[in-house]
Amino acid sequence: MKNALEDLKHNKPPDFVGVATEAQLTSLPRYARLPINHCNLPAAILGGLSFNRSPVPLQLDGVAQFHHGLFALMDKLELAPQRAEAFTLHMNASFYLTQPEQAGYVANTRHRRQKADYLRMLRGWSFDADGREGAALKGWVESRFGLLPRHHAGPIRDFSGEAYRRYLELRAAALYGSNALEAQFDLLYTYSQYELARLYPGQSHLTLYRGVNRLDDYETLAKLDKRRRVVLLNNLNSFSSCRERADEFGDYLLTAFVPLSKIFCYTSLLPGMLKGESEYAVIGGVYEVNLATY
């Protein structure tokens, strides 16, 4: 336990000991994943503990290649605010976010979704992860990474049940009549990965925190000792880089070593994107977490 705590201080993943089975260490359970995705690794691998120990970059199919001009430009920009401005301009131009009529918007249409862009979706998810915007983002993770949601306004265990059906309805409503929202999320994730690589050269993980009230809401796959568990997280989760901030959201504090490649986006990536000062949107799967109570 002492070694694990030392690793916490030095921002390194601790050794995984006491895991129930080798299969549990290696891959994501079948019931939490799709057989296909749009990523360079299958969900069975990228969602498992082995990946979290030794992560590699995750690449969405064709995104970096399609937007290669943007990333070539950003290579020449030294300051993060300059790159953020270049990204925003490119996003607006690629998806006509400031000219919705160019993307087919008609003023007298019944469903006015011209403002349903990536920023509005992220702010909505940050305010209510179980709303329509949250369903759209969890649906994007499901599609791109093959990780099925485990919770949306209630646990999702039966994929023919009411909870999953309601999630699908909200996801469809969020995407209907919008301007290629999932493609916008693709570009945002790829840009986030670009910035994280520049911000943390040579680093593979960040220590992040999540405050929770009910541990029973989390699927525990193994208890390593009194303070360490192997849990299956929802496919998209809110974490904080500030321990004190995370403490405000629950009686229990989960500490996780999150691979940089599993960070969808974070507060300082773009001004005003998320409500918290240190919020991170983290792609889920199986994680080892340290548990503290207050």
CA distance 142 to 145: 6
| Structure confidence by residue, pLDDT tens digits, 195-212 | 999 999 999 999 999 998
Distance (Å) of CA 6 to CA 1, 14, 35, 233, 256: 9, 9, 38, 24, 14
Give pTM, 2 decimals. 0.88
| Structure confidence by residue, pLDDT tens digits, 237-287 | 999 999 888 777 778 899 999 999 999 999 999 977 766 668 999 999 999
Average pLDDT over the chain, rounded to whole? 86
pLDDT of residue 1: 36
Percent of the chain with pLDDT over 70: 84
Contact 54, 170 (CB under 8 A): no
The amino acid at 128: D
pLDDT of residue 2: 40
Looking at per-residue pLDDT, the higher value among 177 and 92 belongs to: 92
Gyration radius of the chain over CA positions: 19
| Structure confidence by residue, pLDDT tens digits, 153-181 | 999 999 999 999 999 999 999 998 788 99
